[in-house]
Structure 1
Amino acid sequence: MRARLVVFPVRGRNWCFSTSLQPSVSDSSSSHSPSTFKHLWSIISTSHGKSSTSKAEVLVDFASNKMDKGWKALEKAPEGSFKNKLHGLGLWLLSRVKPSEIFLKSISKDVNGVEVIYPSSLNARLVRRRLRHIAMRGTIIHKKYFYGSVTLLPLTTVFAVLPLPNIPFFWILFRTYSNWRALKGSEKLLQLVSDGSQTSSSTTINGDETQRDVFVNNGEKLLSSWVLKPSKELEELLHRGDEEDGLSKTAISDICRVFDLETNDVLKYRAST
């Protein structure tokens, strides 16, 4: 699976990193994840040769599916009901999640290559350096947050005695899952953009619009796992909406429409400090 990354500055030193997977590619990992506790136990108990990381992935997929089903049930709750209010609270909490975390979570374990789209005026080395930085930073931050969330999980069980849904427990459970996914995404992205750290040269394909790094290892040319695509269209959209305090919301909406990005996530980059 190849993921398409769109990278561009939104305000000052704030850059947007967003992902839109190619429509023809579907992530089939959810279809193989266990749907019941019995199925989950069967998979874990029979996977003696698998690593602890693989078993943790199965647990995370199982918890993710359960949370998705619960969230969809809240979405369908009648207006004004208690479940509908819980859904509103959940939306507010999700709005507090940093956009970089959402971006890193989108890099799944099935991604084996990235196509990086960026404004044609930017230097390709700077774009790669920024991608490596956000990936390396993610491995540090989300590992720390993951262990912190795991530590807090047992403490939230004390709220189970209340005659209300244990919201702190489910929120910390979600944060545990989210930080785990962001950590794995960081490691995967770092692996992809650091692929072929040997002496590199650059070749151009499809005219001057697409650049693919070629690395030389003992005289043998190796194609990198990333494809760099400077975009004149993205450059024009940036100039069209450039203001003193960053890109205008209209320009961001246009970019999101053209490159199939989530507008709210991109706006978070603009508002971040």
Structure 2
Amino acid sequence: MRARLVVFPIKGRNWCFTKSVQPSLSDSSTAQQTPSTLRELWTTIFSSNPKSSTSKPELLIDFGVNKMDKAWKGLEKAPEGSFKNKIHGLGLRLLSRIKPSEMFLKSIPKDVTSVEVIYPSSLNARLVRRRLRHIAMRGSVIHKNYFYGSVTLLPLTAVFTVLPLPNIPFFWILFRTYSNWRAFKGSEKLLELVSDGSQTSKSTTVNEDERDDSVTNLKKAFSLRVLQPSKELEELLHRGQEEDGLSKCGILDICKAFDLDRNDVLKYRAST
């Protein structure tokens, strides 16, 4: 499975990193494998099926995420002015505070085997790869710490379940735990795909076997990523450029041309 990433500057050193919105077969197959009821979950976890590609912890996480998605969709359909509608509005305000870099790292699936990186033709390919490695390395450290921090807060927020109102703090911390875990795993996968498999030896006395292994590893590493300069993206950037950076209309044109999530990309512009 190959993921298509689009990288371009918003304003100065503030770059946008996003994944193209493309329906994948793996996502549909994962949705079909995830149990929909507790009984199915119990049967799947304790069944000895060696062909199952999903681990038991991942099944629990996917089951919980599906339940949260269904509950969120129920809040979206709530009548205007109702209590559920107000909870949905609060959730939207909380979600708007999530950094766009976290959304990008979360979008990197666990089963991706290679990436195609599209960037403006005026940028240097080495610089693009270096910026991708930086956001992946930084994300692996930050979201790992945030994940452990969220886990420690879960027991504290669970105390509020005794109240007659919905335990919003608990569900928010539960979501942040899952979100940071996904971003941490996505950063690890991205770092694996954009990094070289091995470093070339600096010594002048390198035997032939070591040289062959080094060349093989480098070929394998480069096969995991494709750096694709785009003249179309370069033209769209010039067309939408303003004094304070890339305009909103320019961003929407790029999102339309490369199948990007407009809300995620606009968050980068708001963070400048």
TM-score band by shorter chain is 0.7 to 0.9
Deviating 4+ runs (over 6 angstroms): 47-50
Q: Give the corresponding residue for 1:54.
A: 55
User: What aligned pairs does 1:14-163 form with structure 2 within 5 A after superposition?
Assistant: 14-23=14-23, 25-27=25-27, 28-46=29-47, 54-163=55-164
Q: Residues 101 and 216 of structure 1: is their aligned pair in 2 closer, same or farther, counting only changes over 3 Å?
A: farther
Normalised by the length of structure 2, the TM-score is 0.87
Q: Residues 125 and 162 of structure 1: is their aligned pair in 2 closer, same or farther, counting only changes over 3 Å?
A: same
The runs of 5 or more residues in structure 1 that have no matched partner are 200-214
The amino acid that maps onto 1:165 is P
Asked if the contact 2:110/2:189 (under 8 Å) is kept, the reply is yes
Count of residues in Structure 1 that have an aligned counterpart in Structure 2: 256
Q: How many angstroms apart in 1 are the aligned matches of 2:181 and 2:49?
A: 23
Q: Give the corresponding residue for 1:186.
A: 187
Q: How many angstroms apart in 2 are the aligned matches of 1:54 and 1:182?
A: 19
> Is the helix fraction higher in 1 or 2?
2
1:83-105 Cα shifts (integer Å, max 9, x gaps): 11111111111111110111111
State the shift of 1:218 in Å: 5.0
Q: Residues 47 and 13 of structure 1: is their aligned pair in 2 closer, same or farther, counting only changes over 3 Å?
A: farther
1:199-257 Cα shifts (integer Å, max 9, x gaps): 5xxxxxxxxxxxxxxx9745545452111110001001111111222101111111111
Q: How many angstroms apart in 2 are the aligned matches of 1:130 and 1:107?
A: 16
Q: Which moved more, 1:189-198 or 1:92-101?
A: 189-198
State the shift of 1:197 in Å: 3.7
The amino acid that maps onto 2:63 is F
Q: How many angstroms apart in 2 are the aligned matches of 1:216 and 1:257?
A: 44
Higher RCO (C-alpha under 8 Å, 6+ residues apart): 2
Normalised by the length of structure 1, the TM-score is 0.87
Q: Residues 216 and 242 of structure 1: is their aligned pair in 2 closer, same or farther, counting only changes over 3 Å?
A: farther
Asked if the contact 2:75/2:88 (under 8 Å) is kept, the reply is yes
User: What aligned pairs does 1:160-239 form with structure 2 within 5 A after superposition?
Assistant: 160-198=161-199, 217=213, 220=216, 221-222=219-220, 223-239=222-238
Q: Which moved more, 1:67-76 or 1:54-63?
A: 54-63
The amino acid that maps onto 1:17 is F
Q: Residues 181 and 118 of structure 1: is their aligned pair in 2 closer, same or farther, counting only changes over 3 Å?
A: same
Q: Give the corresponding residue for 1:2.
A: 2
Q: Residues 109 and 216 of structure 1: is their aligned pair in 2 closer, same or farther, counting only changes over 3 Å?
A: farther
Q: How many angstroms apart in 1 are the aligned matches of 2:72 and 2:41?
A: 21
Q: How many angstroms apart in 2 are the aligned matches of 1:235 and 1:254?
A: 12
State the shift of 1:116 in Å: 0.5
1:56-113 Cα shifts (integer Å, max 9, x gaps): 3222111111101101111111122111111111111111111011111111112111
State the shift of 1:33 in Å: 1.6
Secondary structure of the corresponding residue to residue 118 of structure 1: strand
The amino acid that maps onto 2:183 is A
Asked if the contact 1:198/1:217 (under 8 Å) is kept, the reply is no
